[in-house]
């Protein structure tokens, strides 16, 4: 049975249940909610995260109780379900989708706790006029919330549903449960329903606010306001990779959501006046655009789960013991806590990122950032690391599997220098571009980076790749782009023993067209890095090429098997799938 549907420009995402397990399925065909379908396909686990601190697809879907996705599906419809307009405001609200598109503030204008509480108050008000007692009101609310949850699978609906069931049981049996008892029961029931819910940020955020404010019991509104922001800081960094002044405006927009949004939403639902909601959205967007002119953004590295726990724990301890102290002492503690756990320099290191069938590497040296090729998820990694400025962006040649992310990078980051092969047409217009040819090769001395090629136009985009070496933490790295055998021979004849390097970034993903024996004998690497996708259509890296490395005792790392590979001082760390 189809238990949940999400619409996207690329098709539909379905959650299917057989009564005891739930599966994910992507398909272009449109099916109705609660339709009965027979599906034949292959069960595939979700991909492991191979980018440090990146999106964990496995944990995300485990919070929804989903362990597998169905690939290559053959779907047979057995019985139609409910025909719902997924774009209707009420359906979008129940599905826990934002009603207004306001970038980072969109979540405030959907089915959040404030909206849901006001809906429940409205239901109670209507039931009041039918002279229904409080216990029966709870029953009605439980029935309505159950129908909401069965359609939308919203976490906040489930939370409030369990809360109202506990209220009903408490009232009926005269248990006289305290606030802490009720919240603890909700916590336990949610974990019993799905133990993996502890990975859900929404879950953790709700209980952090609930329990911290309960135990600390703050009377000072300013202190309470500041504490709300401090609790949310690690989550905002996790969601958007940055801190900005909008964090301070969150309570303001919550109040807007509480009053004006609910009123306009009700008018829209009653009279179908979509234009009213559109005008409201346009007004808020103009307000946000105006405020953005005065915004301050600090891009910081995302905290690991362990550091998030430590941060919130120290925040709780500090708040508990400092709540009666002077405000400057409290601020001093929070600033030290923030600095210790979030703000820190990045040491010299080299990352070969798992970008699947393409290339992407990031080098940190002497407080400068060097990006070598940018196919896929390179921009995401840089944001995770808190990077705002790229000192040197090197696109070794113009194939898509080396340049896929370049537009996003040039838009989202301050790029000081862009390096392109002077013998290729990239169709990139950037003011501070260095076109490298045999006449313009140079050395960046403070980085110990030397551009060695291209030396001449070899009439082939792979052969005309940028070719350079760099020394980081006493290891010399040689980057080859998609260099072919002809260019390799040219560089061997030109540079001879100057090609010696400890780590070779293997040319053309392990193709037979690169890594010639004469080239390997001159470079003499101890480690070779091959950036490649598992089970790719080219069958890279080829066995013959791997044999050339094995015969010479060269240790080979493949991003397809080893994930992202990090060289930190002389330590090698990988993030395997």
Residue pair 504/475 in contact (Cβ under 8 Å)? The answer is: no
CATH numbers and ranges of domains, the chain? 2-84 (no CATH), 86-200 (no CATH), 216-344 (no CATH), 349-575 (3.60.15.10)
Residue pair 115/257 in contact (Cβ under 8 Å)? The answer is: yes
pLDDT at 253: 66
| CB-facing half-sphere around the CA of 287: CA atoms within 13 A | 13
| Exposure string over 490-517, b if 16+ CB within 10 A, otherwise e | bbbeebeeebebbbbbbbbbbbbbbbbe
Helices (H) and strands (E) counted in the chain, each on its own, are 20, 24
pTM, entire model: 0.80
What is d(CA 410, CA 425) in angstroms, rounded to the nearest whole number? 18
CB within 8 A of 505, min separation 6: which ones? 352, 359, 361, 372, 477, 478, 479, 480, 529, 531
Which two three-digit tokens encode residue 372? Answer: 């070598």
- Describe the chain by its helix, strand, coil percentages, rounded to 5: 45, 20, 30
Residue pair 475/508 in contact (Cβ under 8 Å)? The answer is: no
SS3 state at 88? coil
Neighbours of 27 (CB within 10 A): 15
pLDDT at 353: 96
Residue pair 246/102 in contact (Cβ under 8 Å)? The answer is: no
Which two three-digit tokens encode residue 198? Answer: 């502890």
Which two three-digit tokens encode residue 522? Answer: 């001159």
* Helical spans, DSSP H, in 472-516: 485-495
Averages of pLDDT over each 10 residues, the chain, 577 residues: 81 88 91 91 90 85 91 91 76 75 70 74 82 88 90 86 94 91 92 87 81 73 75 79 68 66 76 72 80 70 78 78 65 66 76 95 95 93 89 96 94 95 93 95 96 95 96 96 95 96 96 95 97 91 95 96 91 90
CA 484 to chain centre: 35
């Amino acid at each position: 049975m189809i238990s949940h549907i999400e619409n996207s420009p690329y098709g539909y995402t379905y959650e299917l249940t057989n009564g005891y397990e739930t599966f994910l399925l992507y398909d272009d065909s449109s099916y109705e909610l609660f339709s009965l379908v027979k599906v034949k396909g292959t069960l595939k686990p979700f991909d492991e995260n191979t980018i440090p601190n990146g999106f964990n697809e496995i944990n995300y879907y485990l919070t929804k109780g989903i362990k597998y996705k169905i690939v290559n599906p053959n779907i047979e419809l057995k019985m139609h379900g409910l025909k719902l307009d997924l774009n209707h405001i009420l359906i979008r609200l129940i599905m826990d989708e934002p009603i207004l598109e306001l970038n980072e503030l969109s979540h405030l204008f959907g089915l959040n706790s404030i909206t849901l509480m006001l809906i429940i108050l409205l239901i109670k008000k209507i039931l009041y006029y039918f002279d229904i007692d409080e216990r029966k009101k709870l029953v009605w609310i439980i029935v309505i919330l159950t129908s909401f949850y069965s359609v939308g699978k919203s976490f906040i609906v489930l939370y409030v549903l369990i809360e109202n069931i506990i209220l009903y049981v408490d009232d009926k049996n005269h248990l006289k449960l305290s606030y802490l008892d009720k919240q603890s029961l909700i916590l336990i029931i949610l974990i019993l329903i799905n133990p993996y819910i502890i990975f859900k940020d929404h879950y953790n955020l709700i209980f952090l606010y609930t329990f911290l404010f309960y135990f600390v019991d703050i009377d000072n509104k300013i202190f309470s306001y500041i504490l709300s922001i401090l609790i949310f800081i690690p989550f905002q960094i996790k969601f958007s990779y940055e801190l900005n002044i909008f964090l301070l405006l969150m309570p303001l927009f919550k109040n807007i959501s509480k009053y004006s949004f609910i009123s306009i939403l009700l008018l829209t639902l009653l009279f179908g006046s979509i234009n009213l909601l559109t005008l409201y959205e346009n007004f808020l967007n103009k307000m946000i655009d105006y405020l953005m002119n005065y915004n301050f953004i600090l891009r910081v590295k995302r905290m690991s789960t362990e550091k998030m726990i430590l941060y919130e724990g120290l925040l709780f301890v500090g708040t508990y013991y400092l709540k009666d102290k002077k405000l400057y002492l409290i601020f001093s503690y929070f600033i030290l806590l923030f600095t210790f756990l979030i703000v820190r320099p990045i040491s010299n290191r080299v990352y070969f990122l798992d970008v699947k069938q393409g290339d992407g590497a990031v080098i940190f040296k002497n407080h400068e950032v060097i990006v070598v090729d940018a196919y896929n998820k390179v921009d995401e990694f840089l944001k995770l690391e808190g990077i705002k400025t790229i000192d040197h962006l090197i696109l070794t040649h113009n194939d898509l599997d080396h340049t896929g992310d370049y537009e996003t990078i040039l838009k989202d980051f301050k790029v000081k220098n862009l390096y392109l092969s002077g013998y290729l047409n990239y169709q990139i217009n950037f003011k501070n571009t260095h076109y490298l040819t045999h006449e313009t090769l140079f050395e960046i001395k403070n980085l110990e980076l030397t551009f060695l090629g291209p030396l001449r136009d070899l009439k082939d985009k792979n052969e005309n790749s940028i070719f350079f070496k760099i020394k980081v933490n006493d290891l010399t790295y040689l980057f080859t782009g998609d260099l072919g055998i002809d260019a390799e021979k040219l560089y061997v004849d030109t540079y001879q023993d100057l090609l010696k390097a400890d780590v070779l970034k293997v040319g053309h993903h392990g193709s037979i067209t690169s890594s010639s024996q004469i080239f390997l004998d001159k470079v003499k690497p101890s480690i070779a890095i091959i950036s490649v996708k598992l089970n790719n259509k080219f069958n890279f890296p080829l066995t013959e090429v791997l044999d050339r490395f094995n015969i010479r005792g060269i240790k080979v790392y493949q991003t397809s098997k080893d994930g992202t590979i990090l060289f930190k001082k002389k330590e090698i760390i990988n993030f395997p799938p």
